Amino acid sequence: MAKRASLSSGRLKTPKQKLEAPSVAETPKAATTTQEKKRPLKERAKQVMMYIHPDAHDQLRMLSIKEKKELNTLYIEALDMLFKAKQLPQIATPDD
Protein backbone atom coordinates (compact mmCIF):
# COMPACT_ATOMS: atom_id res chain seq x y z
CA MET A 1 0.00 0.00 0.00
CA ALA A 2 1.39 3.39 -1.03
CA LYS A 3 2.06 6.00 1.62
CA ARG A 4 -0.24 9.03 1.46
CA ALA A 5 1.42 12.39 1.02
CA SER A 6 1.05 14.69 3.97
CA LEU A 7 -1.09 17.78 3.59
CA SER A 8 1.79 20.04 4.57
CA SER A 9 4.07 18.72 1.83
CA GLY A 10 2.05 20.45 -0.90
CA ARG A 11 2.04 23.87 0.75
CA LEU A 12 3.94 26.69 -0.87
CA LYS A 13 6.59 28.36 1.20
CA THR A 14 5.89 32.09 1.12
CA PRO A 15 7.20 34.79 3.40
CA LYS A 16 4.69 36.04 5.94
CA GLN A 17 3.31 39.43 5.03
CA LYS A 18 2.40 42.05 7.57
CA LEU A 19 -1.35 42.64 7.49
CA GLU A 20 -2.40 46.26 7.48
CA ALA A 21 -5.83 47.82 7.72
CA PRO A 22 -7.01 49.18 4.36
CA SER A 23 -6.87 52.91 3.96
CA VAL A 24 -10.06 54.92 3.66
CA ALA A 25 -9.54 55.14 -0.10
CA GLU A 26 -9.35 51.33 -0.34
CA THR A 27 -12.44 50.48 1.71
CA PRO A 28 -15.35 49.18 -0.35
CA LYS A 29 -18.18 51.63 -0.92
CA ALA A 30 -21.90 50.88 -0.96
CA ALA A 31 -23.25 49.72 -4.30
CA THR A 32 -24.27 53.02 -5.84
CA THR A 33 -23.45 52.58 -9.49
CA THR A 34 -26.41 52.19 -11.80
CA GLN A 35 -24.92 49.00 -13.23
CA GLU A 36 -24.71 47.53 -9.72
CA LYS A 37 -28.26 48.61 -8.87
CA LYS A 38 -29.60 46.86 -11.97
CA ARG A 39 -28.60 43.50 -10.55
CA PRO A 40 -31.35 41.82 -8.50
CA LEU A 41 -31.13 42.33 -4.76
CA LYS A 42 -30.67 38.60 -4.22
CA GLU A 43 -27.41 38.75 -6.23
CA ARG A 44 -26.11 41.83 -4.38
CA ALA A 45 -27.28 40.96 -0.87
CA LYS A 46 -25.42 39.17 1.90
CA GLN A 47 -27.07 36.11 3.37
CA VAL A 48 -27.44 36.20 7.15
CA MET A 49 -28.44 33.33 9.40
CA MET A 50 -29.89 33.90 12.83
CA TYR A 51 -31.49 31.83 15.53
CA ILE A 52 -34.80 32.94 17.02
CA HIS A 53 -37.17 31.39 19.51
CA PRO A 54 -39.72 29.05 17.86
CA ASP A 55 -42.61 31.15 19.23
CA ALA A 56 -41.09 34.29 17.70
CA HIS A 57 -40.78 32.49 14.38
CA ASP A 58 -44.42 31.40 14.55
CA GLN A 59 -45.47 34.94 15.36
CA LEU A 60 -43.46 36.29 12.41
CA ARG A 61 -45.06 33.73 10.10
CA MET A 62 -48.53 34.74 11.26
CA LEU A 63 -47.67 38.41 10.79
CA SER A 64 -46.36 37.72 7.29
CA ILE A 65 -49.64 36.00 6.41
CA LYS A 66 -51.72 38.79 7.95
CA GLU A 67 -49.78 41.54 6.14
CA LYS A 68 -49.31 39.47 2.97
CA LYS A 69 -45.55 40.04 3.05
CA GLU A 70 -42.61 37.66 2.84
CA LEU A 71 -40.63 36.96 6.00
CA ASN A 72 -37.57 38.55 4.38
CA THR A 73 -39.53 41.80 3.92
CA LEU A 74 -40.40 41.81 7.61
CA TYR A 75 -36.74 41.22 8.53
CA ILE A 76 -35.69 44.17 6.36
CA GLU A 77 -38.36 46.39 7.92
CA ALA A 78 -37.11 45.37 11.37
CA LEU A 79 -33.51 46.22 10.42
CA ASP A 80 -34.56 49.64 9.17
CA MET A 81 -36.48 50.25 12.41
CA LEU A 82 -33.35 49.33 14.38
CA PHE A 83 -31.20 51.66 12.26
CA LYS A 84 -33.70 54.49 12.73
CA ALA A 85 -33.77 53.95 16.52
CA LYS A 86 -29.97 54.15 16.60
CA GLN A 87 -29.93 57.30 14.40
CA LEU A 88 -28.31 55.44 11.51
CA PRO A 89 -29.24 55.64 7.81
CA GLN A 90 -32.07 53.29 6.86
CA ILE A 91 -30.20 51.37 4.20
CA ALA A 92 -31.63 47.88 4.61
CA THR A 93 -34.58 48.64 2.33
CA PRO A 94 -33.59 48.08 -1.27
CA ASP A 95 -33.94 51.13 -3.50
CA ASP A 96 -34.83 49.08 -6.58
DSSP class of 52: -
Residue 81 lies in a domain: yes
Query: Would you say 75 and 86 are in contact if contact means Cβ atoms under 8 Å apart?
Result: no
The answer to whether residue 49 is domain-embedded is yes
Residue 56: inside a domain, yes or no? Answer: yes
Provide the domain limits for residue 90: 41-96
Predicted pLDDT of residue 27: 47
Pick 48 or 54 by higher pLDDT.
Answer: 54
- Residue 14 included in any domain: no
Answer whether residue 15 is part of any domain: no
Q: Is residue 6 part of a domain?
A: no
Over residues 77-86, mean pLDDT: 93
Structural domains in the chain (count): 1
Instruction: Find all residues with CB under 8 Å of 64, minimum gap 6, and list them.
Output: 70, 71, 73, 74
- pLDDT bucket at 41, cuts 50 / 70 / 90: confident
Greater confidence (28 vs 74) lies with 74
Is pTM beyond 0.95? Reply is: no
Average pLDDT over every residue of 8-31: 54
